[in-house]
Structure 1
Amino acid sequence: MHRILKIKQILTGTLVTMASLTIISIGNIQSSSAAESYTQSLQELYEMRERVVNKLESLPTPRKRLFFSEENQAILEKQQNLVQKLQEIDVQILVEQRANDNWRQALTLSAQAAEVGVSPSPTVKTRETEKHLWQQAIYNLEEIPDDSFIGDKTNKKIKEYKRSLYDSSYQLNITKSNFLDKIRKESGLSSRATITICNLRRECLDLNGNKLPASPASLIKVPVAVAVMQKVSQENISLDTPVYVSRGNFTEDASEIRARKRYPLKTLVGQMIDHSSNIATNQLIDYLGQPYINKVLEDDGYKVIRVKYKLMGNRIRPKNPGKGRNTLTSNELTDMMVSIYNSEYPNSDVLIEALANQKDRLLGYAGLEKLPEVKWLGEKTGENSRALGTTLGLSIDGEVYVMTVIDSRGGRDPQIRKCINKLAKYLVDNEGLL
């Protein structure tokens, strides 16, 4: 007790005042010119502090005079230097103690995560718990300064834990995606059905999402619309620019577009999306050129989506239809829709408006109709003799999602509707994807 009181007296008796205390890094102590200031462990810091305290105790007490003598000045300067050093050591001890606490906590959390991860019957809940534990362990390690005594091994451990977190996230997505196959079966869709769901942060789940459906049908019109918006933006073209619809692009169509007439670009895009106009699509393909469309898609990072053939009705084939076949996947189409709803494309508002004006509402819209918690935002459907599908935007409690469902067996509206309904119910019941 006597020793503590003496040190307190020395600390308060110096002329040093600290307006604020800034955390001192290890480098400040280790770079000291004094050999005893170089430390490599917390124990050495304790020993260094003890030596500094001993030095403070050994200093004589300054004599009380009305003026400072050289002797008093020398003593006070030594006290000042030692007190400052003691403060730095105390701060560093605190930093290292916290670093050790975070390290031990991270090890505990990682052990818990590993234990949860080997569950013989993992559920979504246990997978989420495992992922959360790995995240918390990493957070603890990231609180440890790089220049801490354990900085090097901490950085190595962070890399190790991040690999475990990646594996955990992957397993979580697999576990969550299992419900998609269950919904597919319950809805009556074929084994070739593809399903993708994403939120606007691009957190996604999918079933066969990278597999090609038998045909994209009219879903390929979304990429054409995106390419139009890229062109008008790059070349400063007005969407009011009239475009002549040639006779060679005529085919069976339920839209308002007629051959040998002029329509503004915006009208052609709108009719292509909300009325699924084949004539408008064919004219826009000619207007853009297939090489331009596919270059835009490639530049945007889409490896599968390609426009190679014009659209046709039941009998009438348009002039210069193209070569090959149109291709897309539910994963890439969903990502494109996410870009639209994120307003990542030029004139995304025009596309969002067209999707919201969708005339065909027998699939996604009808599937969500009896779910008051879910708001339908827009949709593009596609159907031919080989495939039926839809891609749509919806909102639940302000969170926007995009889902795409395609089955390579045409004419199965009830099954698609049932699938959309069950997917939306899952999002509602589980408060989202992740």
Structure 2
Amino acid sequence: MLGIRRFLPAANKTLAVVAGIGLFQVLTIAISFSQSSNLRSLDELYKIRDRIIAQLETPASPSPEPTFLSRLVPFTGNPQESLIQDLQTVETQILVEQRANDNLQQAVRLADRALETARAQNQSLESSQQTQFLWQQALNNLQAIPQNSFLAPLTVSKIQAYRENLTAATSQLQQAKSDLLRAIARESGLSAKASIGICRLSRECVHLRGDVPPVSPASLIKLPIAVALMEKVETDKISLNQEVFVNRGNFTEDSSTQIVSPKNYPLKTLLQEMIDRSSNTATNQLIDYLGSDYINQILENRGYQVTRVNFKLMGEKIMPANPGSGPNRVTVNELTEMMVRIYNGETPGAKFLIETLNGQYDRALGFAALKGTDAQWLGEKTGENSLVLGTTLAMSIDGEAYIITVMDSRSGSDTEIRKSISKIADYITKNPGF
């Protein structure tokens, strides 16, 4: 009895271990992965796979004589099934590593080509585009390497380096595009102070002095007022048919407007007259209706850091009542982004604004510039006073929409603005990757 009592504690410990991990798991670990815990390469995976296949092909050994332990805990696992599971696991990891290796090798090849392209003499816009494209593709290949791949830790520093190279290539490409716009501006006769902005609706943009506010936004300030009005209409559930009284104090000279004072007009009419016929009187009344503080708060909330409406518009002689204080401000970049949001449907009342921009009465700039090109005019807002001349317009080339904004000092004429827009449209038509 004493010998049996001494044996039982040892047997109980063995049973506890068996119950904790299972004989099936013990056997699996012993057969295959006891040797592979430190796997670090595809070659090692191949060796493990070959070893498992060899074990599967080896004839099964006769069942051993029952032991005391096997009588206590009958063995129900199937070593063959365990090996098959291990083989499936190894095969899956081999696929992961093969694809990871392919992506790494392709990334290195693309990076080498990018470096070679960047080192070439006589860099052009096309070569800058190629360099940026190659770095982007190389980075994409690296990022496609799964986190559970042996190669993942090795790519961390390489990904960072490729990102830095992509950033540098993108900056160089933007500079090359700006240089092209500068050449177009010069060839078109625009002044050194001219600003140009171009954006796809996907927000691939390029600009020349696009972040420099012109001395005056002229009537282009009417676009942000229209955006703020549609925001209020949607937020406060106001009908565009609601009438607003145009008082005498907001009257100033207008060239072609139908707005007179004192008289009631629907909001819809005031907005259309402000955009389509560039009515200063309608604009001044809408500034009073909304309030400059409200307009500027909407603009700030939408991320426009420069564009502000501080002063009413006037004609040649008549100053409106309560004109405001401080100058109105815009930039070409913010006007272009405003148009992108409208034509992307990201602005409240975008559909109505697009219809209104398409109905502009003055078509001497963008509309006229696109005649004879392969671009289709979609809509426009122009602006002109004694200081500046400019336009922001939407056009389509081969089914893709673009926004172009051009502003210049008033030293020139309509001809220079038209030439620049026409040249830009022709270049994009011939170089769709621009």
TM-score scaled by structure 1? 0.86
Partner of residue 317 from structure 1, selected from 316, 319, 322 = 319
Specify the alignment match of 1:52 in structure 2: 52
Cα offsets for 1:68-90 (capped at 9, x unmatched)? xx9xx989922232233223223
Residues 101-140 of structure 1: matches in 2 within 5 Å? 101-140=102-141
**Secondary structure in 2 matching 1:323:** coil
Q: Does 1:299 align with 2:305?
A: no
Cα distance, 1:195–1:327 mapped onto 2, change above 3 Å: same
Q: Does 1:145 align with 2:158?
A: no
Cα offsets for 1:376-418 (capped at 9, x unmatched)? 1111111111101111111111111110110012551111111
Specify the alignment match of 2:16 in structure 1: none
Specify the alignment match of 1:96 in structure 2: 97
Distance 1:100 1:273 in 2: 58
Cα distance, 1:185–1:413 mapped onto 2, change above 3 Å: same
Which deviates more from structure 2 when the two are superposed, residues 159-168 or residues 332-341?
159-168
Distance 2:238 2:81 in 1: 74
Distance 2:362 2:254 in 1: 14
Cα distance, 1:237–1:410 mapped onto 2, change above 3 Å: farther
After TM superposition, give the deviation of residue 95 of structure 1 in Å: 2.2
Cα offsets for 1:282-323 (capped at 9, x unmatched)? 000000000000000000000000001000000000001011
Cα offsets for 1:347-389 (capped at 9, x unmatched)? 1122111111111111111111222x21111111111111011
After TM superposition, give the deviation of residue 50 of structure 1 in Å: 4.1
Please tell me the residue identity of whatever aligns with 1:185.
R
Distance 1:287 1:185 in 2: 42
Which deviates more from structure 2 when the two are superposed, residues 424-433 or residues 207-216?
424-433
**Secondary structure in 1 matching 2:207:** strand
Distance 1:378 1:247 in 2: 31
Distance 2:76 2:261 in 1: 101
Equivalent residue pairs, number: 395
Q: Is the 8 A contact 1:389 1:404 kept in 2?
A: yes
State the Cα RMSD in Å.
2.3
Which deviates more from structure 2 when the two are superposed, residues 166-175 or residues 269-278?
166-175
Q: Gaps spanning 5+ residues in structure 1: where?
A: 1-28, 64-69
Specify the alignment match of 1:17 in structure 2: none
Specify the alignment match of 2:39 in structure 1: 40
Distance 1:425 1:264 in 2: 41
After TM superposition, give the deviation of residue 424 of structure 1 in Å: 0.9
Specify the alignment match of 2:160 in structure 1: 159
Specify the alignment match of 1:287 in structure 2: 289
- Which aligned segments of 4 or more residues in structure 1 are displaced greater than 4 angstroms? 73-76
Q: Is the 8 A contact 2:314 2:320 kept in 1?
A: yes
Q: Is the 8 A contact 2:32 2:86 kept in 1?
A: no
**Secondary structure in 1 matching 2:197:** strand
Specify the alignment match of 2:20 in structure 1: none
Cα distance, 1:108–1:353 mapped onto 2, change above 3 Å: same
Q: Does 1:417 align with 2:421?
A: no
Which deviates more from structure 2 when the two are superposed, residues 101-110 or residues 76-85?
76-85
TM-score scaled by structure 2? 0.86
Please tell me the residue identity of whatever aligns with 2:40.
S
Q: Does 1:275 align with 2:277?
A: yes
Please tell me the residue identity of whatever aligns with 1:422.
K
Distance 1:148 1:375 in 2: 50
Specify the alignment match of 2:192 in structure 1: 191
After TM superposition, give the deviation of residue 220 of structure 1 in Å: 0.3
Cα offsets for 1:7-31 (capped at 9, x unmatched)? xxxxxxxxxxxxxxxxxxxxxx99x
Please tell me the residue identity of whatever aligns with 2:39.
Q
Q: Is the 8 A contact 1:221 1:281 kept in 2?
A: yes
After TM superposition, give the deviation of residue 281 of structure 1 in Å: 0.3
Q: Is the 8 A contact 2:190 2:412 kept in 1?
A: no
Q: Is the 8 A contact 1:302 1:332 kept in 2?
A: yes
Specify the alignment match of 1:331 in structure 2: 333
Distance 1:258 1:208 in 2: 38
Over alpha carbons, which structure has the higher Rg? 2
Q: Is the 8 A contact 2:359 2:379 kept in 1?
A: yes
**Secondary structure in 1 matching 2:78:** helix
Distance 1:392 1:410 in 2: 22
Please tell me the residue identity of whatever aligns with 1:308.
N
The percent of aligned pairs where both chains have the same amino acid is: 51
Residues 179-258 of structure 1: matches in 2 within 5 Å? 179-254=180-255, 255-258=257-260
Distance 1:382 1:316 in 2: 19
Distance 1:306 1:108 in 2: 50
Q: Is the 8 A contact 1:396 1:428 kept in 2?
A: yes
Please tell me the residue identity of whatever aligns with 2:379.
G
Please tell me the residue identity of whatever aligns with 2:409.
S
Specify the alignment match of 1:356 in structure 2: 358
Distance 1:33 1:97 in 2: 21
